[in-house]
Amino acid sequence: MVSQTVASTVIQSVTARAVLDSRGNPTVETDVLLADGSLGRAAVPSGASTGAREAVELRDGDPGRWHGKGVDRAVGHVSGEIASVVVGRDADDQAGLDAALAALDGTADKSRLGANALLGVSLAAAKAAAGAHRLPLHRYLGGVDARLLPLPMMNIVNGGAHADNPLDFQEFMIAPVGAGTFAEAVRMGSEVFHTLRRDLRAAGHATGVGDEGGFAPALRTAREALDFVVRAIERTGYRPGEDIGLVMDPASSEFFRDGVYVYAGEGVRRTPSEHAAHLAELIDAYPVVSVEDPMAEDDLDGWRELTARVGDRCQLTGDDVFCTDEKLLREGIRTGVGNSVLVKVNQIGTLTEALATVATAHRAGWTVVMSHRSGETEDTTIADLAVATGCGQIKTGSLSRSDRTAKYNQLIRIEEELGESARYAGGAVLRRP
């Protein structure tokens, strides 16, 4: 990150407003204006299936407005208490700014002022500082070595908390592991997406999309979903596993009840060992290269069992179990819980803390997936963060809905801007045999 202290990067004003996210709910958008006129603007995403240890998203709770989901209090905190502390600080000192934000809140989970209030300021300040230095955000944060374009995980079938269908698993994704460039990966993904639409329609399924832009057909089992996806890959002219790998996100915490995994769509209950065995069978039967949240956040024994069983041949990515929290990640690394971490900036509340989690994972030899949330905006910050950190993977939804495609489009621009120095991560970034 650029560390030069320049008078022009002093924060002159901080303002906030409520804007709509992709689900039609309000969220916080923040503007940070610097002394030289540079403006940074950031909109904060919102999750649906959330980890119990996530930083707190402050909502008003007034049922008479926005069905209780208003963010007027968070907006007020930004324009009032937070602004009074932030104005006059140097936006170049990201770590100092974020430490001041956390100290001002004074709680472990950022529940007093709200992680949505703090994060908007944190990200907007970084974007303003990048503008002051006439640098794109990925270059400002990552330096001259920021040139790795991530492998995208493209959500094409939705279930669980992201759709109104019987499918227990939340997401089925494709990852163009064999593409030569990021732009080519987007083309491949889009082609498969449209083939799948035709296949689902031909089979009598509705082709409306879920929160993250994937289709939400009335399927009941993971095998049904995987079979449709594999056929779509083949019918598009690609080789499953060689050109395009499969990724699943069961979001297992969502159906873990009293020590048992309750598959409502299938009408069965599985013990942790049975659930792990079921996942291992799917990994062996299909070209699955990565599974996110395969076990529930409270089922650490199950996590360790599955990691020992398939961790040498499949990426196992922790979302709810780590919540982008460096302390939780360190414990997971120490105890053998997974081998990869999902990074969502709003789970932790400041940019500095999210970057620390990435650094800890990399030092341990773990992989990192930069991620969106189900309630997104047109803000493309995570696209730049994926390149800035060199994490090599991004999860940002389907090949439909502009809140998702905005991130793909930004990465296409970054790749073009980098020119011959750009590199595409491809399948090499994954934990594979």
Query: What is the domain class of 10-133 according to CATH?
Result: alpha beta
Residue ranges for the known binding site are 162, 170-171, 249, 292, 319, 344, 371-374, 395
Counted residue by residue, the chain has a size of 433
> In the chain, how long is the greatest CA-to-CA distance?
63
Residue ranges for the known binding site for Mg(2+) are 249, 292, 319
Q: Strands (DSSP E) along 21-160, which ranges?
A: 26-34, 39-43, 148-149, 151-158
Asked if residues 45 and 68 have their Cβ atoms less than 8 Å apart, the reply is: no
Residues 4 and 332: their CA atoms lie apart, in Å, by 36
Look up residue 371 and give its DSSP letter. Answer: E
Write down the CATH superfamily of domain 148-430.
Enolase-like C-terminal domain (3.20.20.120)
Residue ranges for the known binding site for substrate are 162, 171, 292, 319, 371-374, 395
Q: Tell me the Ramachandran region of residue 170: left when phi exceeds 0, alpha when psi lies from -120 to 50, beta otherwise.
A: alpha
Residues 281 and 284: their CA atoms lie apart, in Å, by 5
Q: Catalytic: which of 326, 344, 353, 376? A: 344
**Comma-separated ranges of CATH 3.30.390.10 domains in the chain:** 10-133
Tell me phi and psi for residue 350, to 5 degrees.
-140, 155
Q: What is the DSSP string of 149-179?
A: EPEEEEEEEE-GGGSSSS--S-EEEEE-TT-
Asked if residues 416 and 380 have their Cβ atoms less than 8 Å apart, the reply is: no
Q: Is the whole-model pTM more than 0.85?
A: yes
Per the annotation, the verdict on 407 as an active-site residue is no
Helices (H), 113-153: 115-132, 137-142
- Tens of pLDDT along the chain (433 residues)? 444 445 799 999 999 999 999 999 999 999 999 999 999 999 999 987 677 789 999 999 999 999 999 999 999 999 999 999 999 999 999 999 999 999 999 999 999 999 999 999 999 999 999 999 999 999 999 999 999 999 999 999 998 766 667 899 999 999 999 999 999 999 999 999 999 999 999 999 989 888 899 999 999 899 999 999 999 999 999 999 999 999 999 999 999 999 999 999 889 999 999 999 999 999 999 999 999 999 999 999 999 999 999 999 999 999 999 999 999 999 999 999 999 999 999 999 999 999 999 999 999 999 999 999 989 999 999 999 999 999 999 999 999 999 999 999 999 999 999 999 999 999 999 964 4
Q: Tell me the Ramachandran region of residue 110: left when phi exceeds 0, alpha when psi lies from -120 to 50, beta otherwise.
A: left
Q: Catalytic: which of 29, 54, 57, 212? A: 212
Residues 303 and 252: their CA atoms lie apart, in Å, by 11
**Comma-separated ranges of CATH 3.20.20.120 domains in the chain:** 148-430
Residue ranges for the known binding site for (2R)-2-phosphoglycerate are 170, 344, 373-374, 395
Spatial CA neighbour of 342 closest among 317, 359, 362, 314? 317
Per the annotation, the verdict on 29 as an active-site residue is no
